[in-house]
Structure 1
Amino acid sequence: MSGIINLLVMASMPIAKVLLLAAIGSFLGLDRVNILGEDARHHLNQVVFYVFNPALLASTLAKTITFESFLTLWFMPVNIFITYLIGSILGWVLIKVTKAPRHLKGLIIGACSAGNLGKLPLIIVPAMCREKGSPFGDVDVCQSYGLAYASLSMALGNFYIWSYTYNIIRISSREIVDVDANHSEVGDETYGKNTEFLLKPADYSLMTPNNKIPMSLKFQQMLSTFSGKINLKPLFSPSTIGVIVGFMIGLIPPLRKLLIGNDAPLHVIEDSAYLLGDAAIPTITLILGANLLLGLKGSIIQFRIVIGIVAIRYILLPLLGILIIRGAIRGGILKCDPLFQFILLLQYAVPPAMNISTMTELFGNGQSEYSVILLWTYGLAAVALTLWSTIFLWLVAS
């Protein structure tokens, strides 16, 4: 019994630190304080996006990732893909069950599938390494590898969210705009413009005598429509560039010898990047606390949708994650140290990603609704993450 209590205390300390910093951010974001007002958050987000996050990713990956360690991390992108797949399926089911409004469908799928895979692990894991009785061994080694694992999780999460979630919300928002535009038009002439054939006039010669379009042409049209809707530019973000730089330095021996270590000729560059990266975690947490204030203003979102998202993220996904990770280990597919195993399990239990809030602001759809979702999910994260972290620690230590 005392062992479980110790694990519970150990798991609660990092969460308490997150809540404390978030509470300070909420206080700074109050209208009467107005230190982290809307404009301040916007500019600070820009600094985090373009400077702190890339520096953190590049410096931690360069310092801890080697070719040997890289080969042992192959399961993480697979694991994140599974979280997105299961979350999307459960989100689709939630939409059908709750009969959610059309303009929220992309938002619901995004909230259920895209978790906070970088920022929270970056805060929780190093803090857990410093706790007395940690099952992860030496503090310095644990913190170093914990930052590397969390940074890789953040990098992969960045890739998935900007390639998958971004385009789901983008396409969903565009469909709503198109529908509104069509409803605003009147007259048969407008109707004819909105229902014109996909084929150009020159393409009618490709039709068969029975007026059916060849399968090859249909496939080309489908690819053209899909490529027109998908936007891959956000993938080449500063964080992605930071990951590429970090991997290049870590995996290429001459670059590693030139930049990494106290005896390296250019170690001042790596030290400066690490110093900048240290500012990312507290800054992100302060912004998180200030953003949660938006949810207090309320929204027209149905409460059953919020309850469904909470149930998916804090009950169904963690339970399925335990079955998947433990099954992979017992089946010999995955062999990993306790710290890496804990990171993989934690990826199933984190709240929705903060970047979705940026996407809703970008497309002007669902800002207030997602603020309410963030308020409830991050408010309940104190209890949910503490309980699940305790269970995960018990699993990896047993």
Structure 2
Amino acid sequence: MIIFGISYQLIGFCLSRFTFIRSVWGKHNISKVDQHILNCSVMFNNANSLPFIFVLALVNTGEVFDEMNENPEELAIAYVSVFLLPTRFLFWSYSLYVFKYRKDDEEEEPVQKEPVKKEMETRELLDETSLDELDRDEEPVRLVLKKKNEKPKEPFPLKGLLQSIFSPPIIGMLVGLMIGLITPIKQFLIVDPPVIISIFSRVLETFGGAMFPVSMMILGGNLYNTLQQSILQQKQSDKTQQGTYAQAMYWIRANLIKFNHPFAVLMSCFLKLVMMPMIAVTLVLLAIKVKLIGHTDPILLIVLMIEGATPCPMNLAIAANLANKPKLINTVCEIMLFQYILSPITMSICATGFLSLACRITGNCNLDNIL
């Protein structure tokens, strides 16, 4: 499970890096931050809420898994939980780092070219002046121009990287992992807690159950702010576009996609919701071929394939909020909006195919009860 989680993210990163090349798309169409956002939208996936919903729906399909001795629901939850470990660590460390500590094009100071023009005019007007005196007089100007034209080398933000790696979500995940691995602590806090600890455990369990609704509320609030910003942009936009292509692009920008390049959003949805499920199936079949995983557990195969078919994580909006950049939040939420609109269709089609494929590979479930 851990190998598959890391593999999905590495493949998604490579796909996005080779697809969203700024020199190909144009630096005026995709900024550095836009490139980081598109990378995160393809690289990471919703590894907890949506897989739980679809996997539990699949394992409860009629009497498909009645021949299995294990409880399929508990087994599916265990597989999804193990898959979460590497993916959440990489998500929070990478996303917080690129969102908070990587500069955009707009944050870089533009090179001033006016002093160079004034220097050339000075040379034309002062023909009678000695070149040596002119060079001596212009030496301070040249030094200033050289300093302005040279881009300062940014030091590697080691402090920011460490803060991203040891962020509160990752610390909480590591603490929970240690509690689960150490048997006495697990027995004292989870399995057989005293009365006082039991009260806190139930409170934490209640808050844990609210994770998915709260995430949806945060996502909805961010999408609402994005739509409000897009309405303001539409009122202030210029409607003097000419040409069929320009008019079509303007209509898309004015009514549908306002904070990203339209083709970049469509390509992000295609890579995440079409290409990644196909890659997930290929990796699972390849792993069975080389005997990396067994071919007798359909629940395991379904979880691995479903994890590769999910859209970008809802926590991407939370990571954008933590960066405290309004433009970043609008850009992230717009990409999430289109991925989550299309994901119920693509995931439903993929889930049906995954269930049939897993049962045919393992032969450990009743194919007659799928339909």
TM bin (shorter chain): 0.5 to 0.7
Unaligned ranges ≥5, structure 2: 116-140, 231-256, 361-371
Distance change (3 Å), C-alpha of 1:154 and 1:333: closer
Contact 1:115 1:353 in 2 (8 A): yes
Contact 1:122 1:150 in 2 (8 A): yes
TM-score (norm 1): 0.64
* Amino acid paired to 1:319: M
> What is residue 355 of structure 1 aligned with on the other side?
315
> What is residue 215 of structure 2 aligned with on the other side?
284
State the distance in 2 between where 1:175 and 1:391 align.
Answer: 41
Distance change (3 Å), C-alpha of 1:277 and 1:144: farther
Distance change (3 Å), C-alpha of 1:133 and 1:250: same
SS of corresponding position for 1:301: coil
Distance change (3 Å), C-alpha of 1:256 and 1:387: same
> What is residue 147 of structure 1 aligned with on the other side?
77
* Amino acid paired to 2:346: A
Question: Is the aligned partner of 1:380 residue 2:311?
Answer: no
> What is residue 105 of structure 2 aligned with on the other side?
176
> What is residue 192 of structure 1 aligned with on the other side?
147
Aligned 1:128-139 pairs, distance under 5 A: 128-133=58-63, 135=65
User: How far did residue 161 of structure 1 move?
Assistant: 1.3
Contact 2:281 2:305 in 1 (8 A): yes
User: How far did residue 289 of structure 1 move?
Assistant: 4.1
| Cα RMSD for the two superposed structures | 3.3
State the distance in 1 between where 2:69 and 2:53 align.
Answer: 15
Contact 1:294 1:372 in 2 (8 A): no
Cα distance per residue 1:15-42 (max 9 Å; x no partner)? xxxxxxxxxxxxxxxxxxxxxxxxxxxx
Question: Is the aligned partner of 1:273 residue 2:209?
Answer: no
> What is residue 265 of structure 2 aligned with on the other side?
306
Question: Is the aligned partner of 1:79 residue 2:39?
Answer: no
Structure number, greater radius of gyration: 2
State the distance in 1 between where 2:145 and 2:63 align.
Answer: 70
Contact 1:295 1:372 in 2 (8 A): yes
> What is residue 215 of structure 1 aligned with on the other side?
none
User: How far did residue 148 of structure 1 move?
Assistant: 3.4
Q: Alignment length, in residue pairs? A: 295
Question: Is the aligned partner of 1:249 residue 2:179?
Answer: yes
> What is residue 42 of structure 2 aligned with on the other side?
112
Aligned 1:86-101 pairs, distance under 5 A: 86-96=11-21, 98-99=25-26, 100-101=29-30
* Identity percentage of aligned residues: 23
Contact 2:2 2:82 in 1 (8 A): no
Cα distance per residue 1:59-116 (max 9 Å; x no partner)? xxxxxxxxxxxxxxxxx23222222222122212322354442242111112121222
Aligned 1:15-26 pairs, distance under 5 A: none
State the distance in 2 between where 1:239 and 1:137 align.
Answer: 39
> What is residue 287 of structure 2 aligned with on the other side?
328
State the distance in 1 between where 2:63 and 2:220 align.
Answer: 30
Contact 1:118 1:155 in 2 (8 A): no
Contact 2:38 2:268 in 1 (8 A): yes
State the distance in 2 between where 1:196 and 1:301 align.
Answer: 27
Cα distance per residue 1:115-174 (max 9 Å; x no partner)? 2222322443345444433538789933334333333434432211122233334454x1
> What is residue 35 of structure 1 aligned with on the other side?
none
* Amino acid paired to 1:248: M
Cα distance per residue 1:325-381 (max 9 Å; x no partner)? 111122111237332322221221111122333344425243323222111110001
SS of corresponding position for 2:20: helix
Question: Is the aligned partner of 1:162 residue 2:92?
Answer: yes
Distance change (3 Å), C-alpha of 1:137 and 1:240: farther
State the distance in 2 between where 1:245 and 1:142 align.
Answer: 28
> What is residue 346 of structure 1 aligned with on the other side?
306
State the distance in 1 between where 2:70 and 2:277 align.
Answer: 28
Q: Which moved more, 1:147-156 or 1:329-338?
A: 147-156
> What is residue 236 of structure 1 aligned with on the other side?
166
User: How far did residue 305 of structure 1 move?
Assistant: 0.9
Unaligned ranges ≥5, structure 1: 1-75, 199-223
TM-score (norm 2): 0.68
> What is residue 26 of structure 1 aligned with on the other side?
none
Contact 1:115 1:352 in 2 (8 A): yes
